Amino acid sequence: MKEILNSVALEKVLKRLSHEIAERNENLDDVVLLGIRTRGVAVAKRIQKCMQDSEGITLPLGILDVTLYRDDILTCETELIGSEINFSLEGKTVILCDDVLYTGRTVRAAISALFAHGSKMGRAAKIQLLEVVDRGHRELPFRADFIGKNIPTSSQEKVFVRLQETDGVEGVFLRTENER
């Protein structure tokens, strides 16, 4: 596996993304973060911490489980953990946070899940998308508002964002199909 970003570079990317959020959103009091399970949650927590450090504001943070809204990987063995959103989304700018943007299917599932929660949580004014890595190869017409790094890949390559919280290692890595 080839290292694309080490832990220091990854931290710089997350800090830059938090600054971009502050620049593009006039009223941070109306911004909330939703991390897409699993690594998107760790990304959202990191962004929340960066925003606390740089802007002095703690953005509300929720967890969005998109499992039931996937059209490509739902099986009988799929584990459903559930979403945790303990605040209103009414009139808020929701920033969906995830690790790698690839086909766009996770984004579609996240938006479907968000709309399903909308009846209970309120209607968001705007949805923005934050991705640590955009690797291309979209199957659905989604584009991230905040991108940490564009990594053009072939279909035989995979990009992995590894975070200490979820993986015990930190960085962004590229692997080809024939590597183990």
Q: What is the mean pLDDT of residues 70-92?
A: 77
Model confidence band, residue 139 (pLDDT cutoffs 50, 70, 90): very high
Q: What is the mean pLDDT of residues 149-164?
A: 96
Residue 126 CA: distances (Å) to CA of 4, 12, 32: 32, 26, 10
The CATH topology of domain 2-176 is: Rossmann fold (3.40.50)
Model confidence band, residue 163 (pLDDT cutoffs 50, 70, 90): very high
- List pLDDT tens digits, range 46-78: 999 999 999 999 999 999 999 988 887 655 445
**Length reported for the chain:** 180
Quote the longest CA-to-CA distance of the chain: 47
> pTM of the predicted model, to two decimals?
0.94
> For position 146, what pLDDT does the model report?
98
- 3-class secondary-structure state, position 10: helix
Model confidence band, residue 178 (pLDDT cutoffs 50, 70, 90): confident
Domain locations in the chain? 2-176
